[in-house]
Chain A
Amino acid sequence: MESTTDILRERAKRDDDLVRTLGISLGGHGVVIALVVFFPVGFLDASGTDDLDEVMTISLGGPAGPSLGGQTALAARPVQEVIPLQEADQDQWIQPPTPEPPEMTIPEPEAPRRPERDVPSESAPEESRGRMPTRGPELREGNALAETGSTGGGLGLSAGGLGGAGYLEVGDFCCPEYLSTMMELIRRNWNHRQGYTGGLMMKFTIERDGSLIGIERETTSGYFALDQSAERALRLIDRLPPLPSRFPENDLTVHLSFQYER
């Protein structure tokens, strides 16, 4: 009969074959890593990677905005303000009818006379007939900057937006004035009034020497004519000014939106 201590010593011996579970664990980790590697695209990022590309927007459609030296104050917009009502001058519009011109003037036979300077008016002014033109408070397009609280991107083309947009494939393009030149050149060849509304995106790449390559349509407006017109506007430019020397890349890819109005 063995003693208590012998039994305890016997029990205290550990039988751990950790090798097998180590193998299982290693295999499991391998599978997990393989799953991460072979995971379907876009499963883990909720919004999709395309949104990340949009860094700045350029608009071609609509009227050109105020020229602010390339820095557009996106946060500020023109507001409509009411002109204070002016006290109308009563005398200005209640006037006695002008006297009738004399029936006839008898010419002096001798000397030819100079024509009279003040030609009498043929008819009485509108006001004299007692009909008052309506004069109310008028709206005037103001250009005062109103603080709207939002801040602008700080970089962009100075153009008003009518939904048109475009973006560059670089994060911070150094030279907005280059972009405005580019837009000006493109706008010369392009008419945004074609009788149809619609919009399309064009993509092209500007080489270092200013030549345009890789002109392609990204989205269609649905009308062949509009698509053609936009493409033509780009193709007609044989050469833009060379890319600014401060810009480090060799080429600049631009996505440009063309918005047509009726």
Chain B
Amino acid sequence: MLTLGYYAIALQSEAVGASGAGLGGSVIEWVARSSPLSKTVLLILLLFSVASWAIALRKMWEYRRLERQTSSFLDVFRRSTKFSEVQSVCRSLIHSPLVGVFQAGYAELNAQLRQSGESAGATPSEGRPTLRSFEALDRALLRASAVEANKLEHRVHLLATTASITPFIGLFGTVMGIVDAFVGIAESGSTSLAVVAPGIGEALIATAAGLAAAIPAVYFYNHLTNKVKLYLSTMEDFSLEFLNISERNFT
């Protein structure tokens, strides 16, 4: 980071040696000279951008961890022969949504088996416990899936909001800036470019900032919702697999 800064400063000093003020300088000048309204607009856009990038980075990081843990959980799940073994590794893989689904299903299964064990305790003729309500297990898995889906999608909607709102905020800033510029023309009574250009240029910065905030947000929103869809189908698949195994073993 620091070296990057030095690089920028070195470039800048070299460029200043070559000629006069640069684009960056003029942009900063314009921003500094702009009205409080457009400064506010730029600040709001900056906040939106910071928040959306933070959410996107956080989610990307979360999803990467989630993928890693999911694949190792599935590995364990498919290799083990007992649900209790799988349950024991769940502690270390807490971030995978499949763990939530599995734990809910396992708890429901345990509860039903215990009940059936208690009622069938008098006649322990059958060697293996049986599942009383298959639908209840299904419902438990569904509930768990819903909870996990909510967790996955948490805050992703803010990216969509950023993507759709920030261009409009930027446009608003631009329109107000152009109104300002025209008022300036009316006051000075001159239509020369020198009077009009800075105002319009300054106003357009707001649109540029709005687009700069919106474009990454659109990209990340699409990327993340696509991932969420993928995880949802993985969870669905896992639920069915869990149901199949339960049916095979406990009926």
Contacts and interface: CB of A to CB of B under 8 A. Distances in A.
A16 B107 contact: no
Contacts of A2: 107
Contacts of A38: 8-9, 11-12, 24
Interface in A88-124: none
Nearest to B141: A4
A44 B100 contact: no
B142 to A, nearest CB: 11
A250 interface: no
B28 interface: yes
A29 B23 contact: no
B236 interface: no
Nearest to B190: A248
Nearest to A26: B50
A37 B51 contact: no
A44 B23 contact: yes
B84 to A, nearest CB: 12
Contacts of A224: none
Contacts of A35: 8
Nearest to B191: A172
Contacts of A7: 100, 103-104, 107, 144
A214 B181 CA distance: 34
B78 interface: no
A11 B151 contact: yes
Interface stretch (B55-63, B69-77, B159-167, B243-251): B55-63
A126 interface: no
A18 B58 contact: yes
B57 A25 contact: yes
A45 interface: yes
Contact of A39 (B20, B23, B58, B144): B23
Interface string A1-44: 11110111001101010100110111111010011111111111
B24 A25 contact: no
B192 interface: yes
B23 A43 contact: yes
A18 B111 contact: no
Interface string B198-231: 0000000000000000000000000000000000
B194 interface: yes
Given A7-B104, A8-B104, A29-B49, A40 B15 contact: yes
B221 to A, nearest CB: 16
A245 B12 CA distance: 42
Given A25-B54, A38-B11, A40-B11, 18 more contacts: A1-B110, A8-B143, A8-B144, A14-B151, A18-B155, A24-B54, A26-B54, A29-B49, A29-B53, A31-B4, A37-B24, A37-B25, A38-B8, A39-B24, A41-B18, A41-B22, A43-B23, A170-B192
Interface of A: 1-4, 6-8, 11-12, 14, 16, 18, 21-22, 24-29, 31, 34-45, 170-172, 248
Interface of B: 1, 4-5, 8-9, 11-12, 14-16, 18-25, 27-28, 46, 49-51, 53-55, 57-58, 61, 100, 103-104, 107-108, 110-111, 114, 140, 143-144, 147-148, 150-151, 154-155, 190, 192-194
22 contacts: A1-B114, A2-B107, A3-B111, A7-B104, A11-B103, A11-B144, A11-B147, A12-B147, A22-B54, A25-B50, A25-B53, A29-B46, A34-B8, A36-B24, A37-B24, A38-B9, A38-B11, A40-B12, A41-B15, A42-B23, A43-B23, A44-B23
